[in-house]
Amino acid sequence: MSSETPTTSLENLSREERRFPPSEEFAAGAIATADLYDRAAADREGFWAEQARDLLTWSTDFTQTLDWSKAPFARWFVGGELNVAYNCTDRHVEAGHGDRVALHFEGEPGDTRSYTYAELTAAVKRAANALQDLGISKGDRVAIYLPMIPEAVIAMLACARLGAPHSVVFGGFSAEALHSRIEDAQAKLVITSDGGYRRGKPSALKPAVDAALAKGAPSVKHVLVVKRTGQDVEWDDARDVWWDDALAAAAPEHTAQPMDAEHPLFILYTSGTTGKPKGILHTSGGYLTQCAYTHKNVFDLHRDTDVYWCTADIGWVTGHSYIVYGPLANGATQVIYEGTPDTPHQGRFWEIVQKYGVTILYTAPTAIRTFMKWGEDIPAKFDLSSLRVLGSVGEPINPEAWVWYRRVIGGDRTPVVDTWWQTETGAIMISPLPGVTAAKPGSAQVPLPGISADVLDDEAHSVPDGGGGYLVLTEPWPSMLRGIWGDDERYQETYWSRFPGMYFAGDGAKKDDDGDIWLLGRVDDVMNVSGHRLSTTEIESALVSHPKVAEAAVVGATDDTTGQAPCAFVILRGGAEQGDDIVTELRNHVAQEIGPIAKPRQIMVVAELPKTRSGKIMRRLLRDVAEKREVGDVTTLADTTVMDLIKSGMSTSTES
């Protein structure tokens, strides 16, 4: 990991001086009030125990809130038993809410389907039986590679019901990336579809599964295939089963079995600082408690009247916690949308808000900046008056985008909650509370009640107000990751060794004069592209796996729309031809190895890379080049002329 200190300057972020307190009317009706902070501060564990008991239904009550004796391996709600899927489905039906809509599905081509809680429960029960018929039982891993369709939610809940941890792989990842995740988790079943709709066209998924399994994945016994697009698919009779056939043949009734609070719920792979993605492990009771708690309090969920919409894909943690587990545990009504914001027109999101009367919208700064570029007249054509809370997640939101979001989408009326968290934290950690906090555009501001965070300097001292450093979480929290799948050592090393006894998030942060926290982006070799997390080393590994590449360095350069964009510097092997063809070939190679999201925006063929005398690539200097800045201090370079060489070669680069 590089030890570069955060580079984004607070001055850039804090130009907006206005504060946005909630209206009196909003504050008066808000779910979360200021006393929540006091209650949590007075007795942190007691507070979480109360949340767990209030928000969830336990088959067996827990006897201890937190066991931290084997830190950093936590056990929350020790002795407690519950079934996560039961909490997200059956119990709402049993409480008389079976007719409430759980999901309004909007397909990209315009097809729609709604599921009430009774219908969702029935579908999950059948799917659980179908999985069982395919040999899946408690503890088996199931890989899910699906578009944003209701079956994705049903499949995840069916796994949870059986205690079979799911590993959802984003549909935009390549066969290669899917294969490595299937292998690492030793999945027994893959659930996929023939395809999904993307930008107005059917886009195939099953061929990637076939290709992944052809690379060798002996753990996989079956592939369950949802029919979505009707595309032709290759079929292996011994292995492949249609979802509809399996569900039709399955028994309709299924009784959920209680699981230990610490039973693994899912593995979700995310990019780290080394080439190999990490399988982040989450368990049941603590994870669901914090998902439900944050979803209710941060979004001010009034279950009977709100219509919630999170625009994430279930392939990312936001989709896990804030499409599946948080909202469904809370019995919310939500919209899920399959496609892109500009299909068939640039007003699609606002058309959906108007159509379903969406009241709470949760999206990413990248999307907001794209909408800003498209112009205010597009949302102005739709009735957005139903909206009452807006959320942002995935990357720092610049104050301009924050203010635009509130003014244009929120009618200058709605609170905006900028929510900081990570795959590893499982749920929101730092965020305003919409009925309490006077919001500051660009700042996530304060840890939620029950959460403890700080900003430390290099020597692990808490920085004073006005200072900058590294974000840490100073106390364990219920939805924290329980480890990295199969690699306890990497878990301790990655998160708990930089500042002993504290969780190191990998983000730079500042405290302003009020002590509010501003997130400044990653301080390690992880970049954030459109709110998607990618590792520079993972892209470098993909590049050097190409036979024509001798060496590669990748940096995340600032990008107006996507936040950051991968920019690559490559040294070709002797004899390899330079020029545009090689650049296109390498970009496609990265798409094939990882997925189209990882394609470098720019690839520069260079003769040398800037290295220190110990051979470490100085990415800071490459970032200067990629961002077209004056190149910084080069005195530690082994060869100080290298940067001149690279800059003079800039003209050979290709942008797309």
Residues that bind ligand PRX (CB under 6 A): 270, 317-318, 393-396, 418-423, 444, 505-507, 519, 521-522, 528, 533
At residue 34, what are phi and psi to the nearest 5 degrees?
-60, -25
Q: By C-beta, is 181 or 533 nearer to ligand PRX?
A: 533
Q: By C-beta, is 123 or 455 nearer to ligand PRX?
A: 455
CB 508 within 8 A of CB 5: yes
CB of 270 to ligand PRX, least distance (A): 5
CB of 99 to ligand PRX, least distance (A): 33
Q: By C-beta, is 163 or 327 nearer to ligand PRX?
A: 327
CB 478 within 8 A of CB 289: yes
CB of 227 to ligand PRX, least distance (A): 30
CB of 498 to ligand PRX, least distance (A): 14
* d(C-alpha 409, C-alpha 360), whole Å: 11
**Buried b or exposed e, range 102-119, using 16+ CB within 10 angstroms:** bbbbbbbeeeeebbbbbb
Provide the sign of the torsion angle of the four alpha carbons 501, 506, 507, 509, taken in this order.
positive
List own/partner pairs for 381-386 with CB under 8 A and 24 or more apart.
Answer: 381/347, 381/350, 382/347, 382/350, 382/351, 382/353, 382/354, 383/354, 384/350, 384/353, 384/354, 384/409, 384/410, 384/411, 385/411, 386/307, 386/353, 386/354, 386/357, 386/358, 386/359
Q: By C-beta, is 240 or 525 nearer to ligand PRX?
A: 525
CB of 576 to ligand PRX, least distance (A): 34
Q: What angle do CA 490, 492, 493 make, to 5 degrees?
A: 60
What residues are paired with 462 via a beta bridge?
Answer: 456
Q: By C-beta, is 229 or 297 nearer to ligand PRX?
A: 297
Q: What angle do CA 46, 49, 51 make, to 5 degrees?
A: 110
How far the first Cα of the chain sits from its last, in Å, is 29
Burial of 374 (0-12, 13-18, 19+ CB in 10 A): middle
CB of 4 to ligand PRX, least distance (A): 15
* d(C-alpha 124, C-alpha 133), whole Å: 14
Q: By C-beta, is 270 or 479 nearer to ligand PRX?
A: 270
CB of 539 to ligand PRX, least distance (A): 16
Q: By C-beta, is 347 or 566 nearer to ligand PRX?
A: 566
CB 104 within 8 A of CB 176: no
Q: By C-beta, is 182 or 364 nearer to ligand PRX?
A: 364
DSSP state of 17: -
CB of 505 to ligand PRX, least distance (A): 6
Q: By C-beta, is 56 or 505 nearer to ligand PRX?
A: 505
CB of 519 to ligand PRX, least distance (A): 4
